[in-house]
Amino acid sequence: MDITTSLYTGKLVRLTRIELEKDPETLAEWSQEASLMRMLDQTPARPLAPEQIKKQLEKVEKEMDEKHEMFYFHIRPLDDERLVGWGKIYWILWPSQIANIELAIGPSEQNKGYGSDAFRLFLRLAFDELNLNRLTAPLPEYNIRGIDFVKKFGFSEEVRRREVILRDGRRWDSLLLGLLRSEWSVNHE
Is 6 among the domain residues?
Answer: no
Is 58 among the domain residues?
Answer: yes
Average pLDDT of the chain to the nearest whole number: 93
DSSP reduced 3-state for 111: coil
Instruction: Count the domains in the chain.
Output: 1
Q: Which domain holds residue 84?
A: 13-188
pLDDT digits (tens, 9 = 90+) for 32-61: 887 888 887 777 888 899 999 999 999 999
Rounded to 5°, the CA angle 110-92-13 comes to 30
pTM: 0.93
Is 1 among the domain residues?
Answer: no
CB 75 within 8 Å of CB 15: yes
Contacts of 140 (CB under 8 A, 6+ apart): 39, 42, 165, 167, 172, 173, 174, 175
Q: What is the pLDDT of residue 40?
A: 78
Is 182 among the domain residues?
Answer: yes
Q: Is the pLDDT of residue 146 over 90?
A: yes
